């Protein structure tokens, strides 16, 4: 198990497909969680979830640019509460752009506890201080008010609506790298 970052309440670590698939399935089989993520994010079995975790890990290794999907684990209970993401935004044809996004998916039982903001801060810091990204974006469906609030708590600036990513209309938020 590779713990990459820790906060007061959370561990952010690599996914371990054989061990984590069941907990990930609880997250990604919940229609309320996947409502804002699109139909393709929903999984129908623990095995399909395990394969998706494996595929995401392989994709991150292939890109070899420090980006990826990581498990968010509650320290106190060792429960996986969600996923934190730092990756290249895809265009409408699902090809990677030169823009990077921070994102989060949390299980319903963990909503409203500040975990997305806490993990998001870690990812932003990593993106700026380790990957040396000049700017990091977040894209949110306009009706996803909880995620909009997370972007606000992270200090991200609303840019407006865009159709540039994922082939759908989204709200775009941006945070520039802090100046030295």
Mean pLDDT calculated for residue range 109-133: 96
Secondary-structure percent of the chain, ordered helix, strand, coil, rounded to 5: 35, 30, 35
Q: What is the tens place of the pLDDT at every residue in 125-156?
A: 999 999 999 999 999 999 999 999 999 999 99
Token representation of residue 114: 């500040």
Categorize the per-residue pLDDT at 8 as very low, low, confident or very high, splitting at 50, 70 and 90: very high
Categorize the per-residue pLDDT at 94 as very low, low, confident or very high, splitting at 50, 70 and 90: confident
Token representation of residue 83: 């996923």
Q: How many CB atoms lie within 10 A of CB 87?
A: 19
pTM value is 0.92
Whether the CB-CB separation of 15 and 69 falls below 8 Å is answered with yes
């Amino acid at each position: 198990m590779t713990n990459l970052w820790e906060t007061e309440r959370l561990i952010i670590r690599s996914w371990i497909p054989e061990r984590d698939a069941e907990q990930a399935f609880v997250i990604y089989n919940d229609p309320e969680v996947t409502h804002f993520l699109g139909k393709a994010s929903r999984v129908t079995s623990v095995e399909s979830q395990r394969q998706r975790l494996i595929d995401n890990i392989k994709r991150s290794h292939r890109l070899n640019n420090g980006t990826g999907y990581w498990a968010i684990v509650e320290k106190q209970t060792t429960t996986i509460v969600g996923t934190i993401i730092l990756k290249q935004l895809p265009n409408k044809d699902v090809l990677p752009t030169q823009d990077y996004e921070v994102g989060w998916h949390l299980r319903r039982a963990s909503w409203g506890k500040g975990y997305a903001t806490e993990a998001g801060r870690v990812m932003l810091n990593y993106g700026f201080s380790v990957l040396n990204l000049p700017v990091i974006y977040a894209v949110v469906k306009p009706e996803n008010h909880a995620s909009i609030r997370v972007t606000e708590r992270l200090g991200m600036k609303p840019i407006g609506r865009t159709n540039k990513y994922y082939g759908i209309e989204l709200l775009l938020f941006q945070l520039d790298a802090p100046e030295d």
